[in-house]
Amino acid sequence: MINLLTSSLNQAGEQVYLGLFNADSASCAQVVREADQKEIPVWGLRCRGRWDWRAVHDLANFLKINQIDVLHTHGYKANIYGFLAARLAGCKIVATCHNWTKRTSALQKYAALDQLFLRWFDTVIAVSQGIVTELRHNKVRRIRMIANGIDVAKYQASGNHSGHNQPLVIGCLSRLSKEKGVDVLLWALPRILDQYPSLHCFVAGEGPERAHLEALAVKLGVANSFHMPGFCDDTADFLKLCTVAVQPSRMEAMPLAILEAMAAGKAIVASAVGEIPRLLEDGHAGLLVPPDSPEKLADAVLTLLKDEALRQSVERRAAQKAAAQFDVATMTAEYQKVYRTVASSHHHQRNLAHADRMDMKA
């Protein structure tokens, strides 16, 4: 999402820098590679340990030297460092809140600290109504909701290759973590394979649950049909080979994987959590199932595999909705409105300060 937004802003004529903590680390490699391809300047912020006051000063100096009007942060660490640096530099700050997983006690504490800092941001963007509600509960006031966007044309251009002569494939784009529910898909797989033994399931992504999922696939006897190829560089290319896209999450906000599958014209089965019911129009643009329900997940997948007319209907509706509501151009225009609003107040304050100094000299 960050790469897509920076690229789209750049194309719209905005001057954009992409700042990354420790940009030369392996975890940043994919983001840096995509930014380089789009000719987005990347600035690496060296951060030495969990807390590094020098990094705050380095960021503040970067903001001053480059005369940054608005700093846009994503994630609790960027939010906290960014807020302190923006205040030192005298520039405005905007954050996008994607979700707080709160998987561990440490993450719960970070989320609470993040939400405390967000009370003083100039604008906080929520990607879902659920996040809006949580922010308001935590006394954050300057909130705007902007849905995630995707490059719809890219997914439409990839085409739908799941025809009669193509092998049946279940596809899942997901981080391999507990809240994403990939284990639920695994528990559903034996029931699906009973009726479609030649079917294969691919989960593209990485995460801490890989070893557990590999062991579970062996335990369930589906290891030959279940594949985890790792992080996916080209999700459009991955999706074009899928017959059905599955998102079995236990919790979500506004999942990009669902938007990508919709734009690719895929039949979708997903958990009814977060914004997913609204995205899939309560079943009209994809089938919804309760989270943590392998039996119902299997039944929904089997329904789509058996009923071609239904599958084509939800594919069409999903593609139409993605094109109409979630294209990157729509998202970018909304962010530009936010930037201009907070930047105009910044320029107004600078002009007042300049006028005050001139009065004092006079």
Per-residue confidence of the chain (362 residues) as pLDDT tens digits? Answer: 899 999 999 999 999 999 999 999 988 998 999 999 999 999 999 998 878 999 999 999 999 999 999 999 999 999 999 999 999 999 999 999 988 877 788 888 888 899 999 999 999 999 999 899 999 999 999 999 999 999 999 999 876 555 556 799 999 999 999 999 999 999 999 999 999 999 999 999 999 999 999 999 999 999 999 999 999 989 999 999 999 999 999 999 889 999 999 999 999 999 999 999 999 999 999 999 999 999 999 999 999 999 999 999 999 999 999 999 999 999 999 999 999 999 997 554 554 444 444 444 54
Query: For 223, phi and psi rounded to 5 degrees?
Result: -60, -30
Q: Do the strands 42-45 and 18-21 form a parallel or antiparallel pair, or are they unpaired?
A: parallel
Query: For 136, phi and psi rounded to 5 degrees?
Result: -65, -40
Instruction: Report d(CA 274, CA 277) in Å as an integer.
Output: 7
Please work out, in degrees rounded to the nearest 5, the angle formed at the alpha carbon of residue 263 by the alpha carbons of 261 and 265: 70
Instruction: Indicate the DSSP class of residue 286.
Output: S
Contacts 24+ apart (CB under 8 A), 13-16: 14/336, 14/339, 16/40, 16/41
Instruction: Report d(CA 288, CA 284) in Å as an integer.
Output: 9
Instruction: Indicate the DSSP class of residue 26.
Output: G
List all residues 6 or more positions away from 361 whose beta carbon is below 8 Å from its beta carbon: none
Sign of the alpha-carbon dihedral angle for 326, 12, 39, 67 = negative
For residue 231, CA distances in Å to 27, 176, 238 come to 12, 10, 11
* DSSP secondary structure string for all residues of 30-80: HHHHHHHHTT--EEEE---SS--HHHHHHHHHHHHHTT-SEEEEESHHHHH
The length of the chain is: 362
> Does the pTM of the predicted model rise above 0.85?
no
